[in-house]
């Protein structure tokens, strides 16, 4: 191909530009036959209208003087076929910028679905009514949309063998951080949308195992909440937002071992001014006696918590088998947050721990009982290394050898075996369970189930792992 030089000093007119493009294309397409589709083919056939039959409202029989003597029973209506999927016709806050619509649809759907414990799906009512703010913001706020994409992609990669490119999640997370940083320096930096975005950024870092970074975001969230008047005011005015912040605080406290940053446990004493705290799932008359009442050394505060958690387990069991109506998810989550915060305030996992061995062991067992309900956004149970370490230490003390504590010891072992420990890695657990069952002279599953009925127990979660541990 011959070379031709263009004088850049001279003015380049349209004719010169055509020569440049033609000359460049000659080398690229040399020896090729270019076949271009016509505009008619590109446009494609028009969508074919679909004719459906829509029944009209049935009218009462006409009166003699009614002019509607022969009302129509059906009317034929046509409409154009909708092209695309659900997301393509939704009002999202940004353009897709070349990103797969299928990925956006999958990510948003995954994030917005309700996360239940799979074994207990029959025990809880589904969400009814208008979408919550945590769903709606994905279609209204660009920063929130990006963090939803980041969380969903990361969660899908955690539970699927063939996931998406992790770099996509980092790109969305980076865009969220850029947008929220610019918004925090503008008017109304502590709006509901900004608080929601920071909550989700912290949960995203926790999902990736970056707990120190998540704690940094929690500290920033604490400052933002103080600018809104404190956690009590926020919970009263924005219950849904307050619950998410309390849940994030509890999640991090379980892993890091510190007291929760927000003192929600103290707020529960002032339930008259906070609507969602004055809706207890567990009424006072339902707090039946439980196995913990027999232990004289157990503190009064922990006895109260143990009774409430035992009642909670019985309500879930009854709802699961249809003996009572399904539990409302909002009330259940509020109760879970309240009990969880009170348990952690009683003795943080990182210390200082209760001095009484019975208090120490029972508190650890109650926390382990709640862990299956503290699932992460990807649906998996959280990893709590401090909790497993503390339970292991408690099982090596005098509490584990005393004859009068063998029932509660067995309960702690079985509950933590299903929610905290890995049965394949912790061989000592099988040995400890076997020793406790022999001490209590339990030879059948029915005998063991009768003993466990006095303690917090969820049949759908603990029965199968307990049978494997006991060999029944």
Lowest mean pLDDT among 61-70, 200-209, 210-219, 245-254: 61-70
Query: What average pLDDT score do residues 234-250 get?
Result: 93
What would be the CATH architecture of the domain defined by 286-470?
Alpha Horseshoe (1.25)
What sign for the dihedral angle of Cα 159, 164, 165, 169?
A: negative
The rounded mean pLDDT for the chain is 79
Residues 6+ apart with CB under 8 A from 371: 254, 381, 382, 384, 387, 419, 420
Angular region, 136: left φ>0, alpha ψ -120 to 50, beta rest: alpha
* Contact call for residues 164 and 103 (beta carbons, < 8 A): yes
Task: Output the pLDDT for position 400.
Answer: 78
* pLDDT surpassing 70 at residue 420: yes
Task: Output the pLDDT for position 329.
Answer: 85
Q: 184 vs 180, 181, 191, 212, CA distance in Å?
A: 6, 5, 9, 22
Here the tokens at position 436 are 């406790």
Model's pTM, two decimal places? 0.76
Q: Which residue has the tokens 């650890």?
A: 364
Here the tokens at position 102 are 């299928």
Query: Could you count the other beta carbons within 10 Å of the beta carbon of residue 391?
Result: 24
Helix (H, G, I), strand (E, B) or coil at 113: coil
Q: 386 vs 114, 258, 260, 302, 391, CA distance in Å?
A: 28, 11, 15, 20, 9
Query: For 337-376, b where at least 16 C-beta lie within 10 A, e where not — what string?
Result: bbbbbbbbbbbbbeeebbebbbbbbbbbbbbbbbbbbbeb
Closest CA to 409 of 360, 450, 446: 360
For the chain, the domains span: 87-120+129-228, 286-470
What is the rounded CA–CA span in Å between residue 334 and residue 279? 8
pLDDT tens, 328-386?
888 888 899 999 999 999 999 998 999 999 999 999 999 999 999 998 888 788 889 99
pLDDT tens, 19-58?
777 766 666 566 666 565 555 554 444 444 433 333 343 3
- The dihedrals phi and psi of 446, each to the nearest 5 degrees, come to -60, -40
What DSSP designation does 70 have? S
What does the longest C-alpha to C-alpha distance in the chain come to? 103
């Amino acid at each position: 191909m011959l070379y031709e030089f263009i004088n850049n000093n001279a003015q380049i007119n349209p004719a010169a530009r055509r020569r440049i493009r033609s000359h460049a294309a000659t080398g690229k397409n040399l020896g090729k036959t270019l076949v271009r589709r016509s505009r008619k083919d590109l446009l494609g056939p028009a969508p074919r209208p679909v004719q459906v039959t829509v029944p009209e409202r049935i009218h009462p029989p006409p009166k003699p003087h009614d002019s509607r003597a022969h009302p129509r029973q059906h009317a034929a209506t046509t409409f154009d076929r909708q092209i695309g999927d659900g997301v393509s016709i939704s009002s999202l806050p940004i353009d897709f910028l070349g990103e797969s619509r299928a990925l956006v649809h999958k990510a948003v759907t995954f994030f917005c679905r309700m996360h239940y414990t799979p074994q207990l799906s029959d025990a809880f009512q589904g969400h009814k009514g208008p979408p919550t703010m945590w769903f709606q913001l994905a279609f209204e706020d660009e920063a929130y949309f990006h963090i939803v994409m980041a969380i969903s992609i990361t969660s899908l990669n955690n539970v699927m063998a063939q996931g998406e490119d992790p770099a996509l999640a980092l790109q969305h997370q980076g865009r969220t951080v850029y947008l929220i940083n610019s918004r925090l320096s503008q008017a109304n930096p502590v709006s509901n949308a900004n608080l929601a975005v920071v909550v989700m950024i912290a949960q995203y870092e926790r999902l990736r195992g970056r707990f120190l970074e998540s704690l940094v975001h929690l500290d920033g969230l604490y400052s933002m909440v103080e600018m809104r008047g404190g956690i009590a005011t926020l919970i009263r005015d924005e219950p849904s937002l307050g619950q998410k912040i309390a849940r994030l605080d509890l999640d991090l406290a379980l892993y890091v071992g510190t007291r929760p940053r927000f003192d929600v446990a103290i707020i529960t004493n002032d339930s008259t001014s906070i609507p969602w705290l004055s809706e207890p799932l567990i009424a006072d008359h339902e707090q039946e006696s439980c196995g913990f009442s027999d232990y004289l050394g157990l503190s009064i505060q922990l006895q109260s918590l143990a009774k409430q958690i035992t009642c909670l387990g019985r309500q879930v069991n009854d709802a699961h088998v249809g003996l009572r109506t399904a539990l409302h998810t909002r009330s259940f989550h509020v109760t879970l947050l309240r009990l969880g915060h009170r348990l952690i305030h009683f003795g943080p996992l990182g210390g200082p721990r209760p001095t009484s061995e019975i208090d120490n062991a029972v508190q650890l067992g109650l926390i382990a009982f709640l862990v299956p309900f503290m699932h992460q956004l990807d649906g998996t149970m959280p990893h709590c290394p401090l909790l497993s370490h503390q339970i292991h230490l408690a099982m090596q003390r005098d509490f584990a050898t005393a004859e009068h504590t063998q029932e509660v010891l067995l309960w702690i072992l079985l509950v933590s075996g299903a929610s905290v420990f890995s049965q394949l890695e912790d061989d000592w657990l099988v040995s400890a369970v076997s020793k406790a069952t022999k001490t209590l002279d339990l030879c059948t599953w029915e005998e063991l189930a009768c003993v466990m009925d006095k303690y917090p127990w969820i049949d759908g979660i603990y029965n199968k792992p307990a049978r494997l541990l006991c060999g029944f």
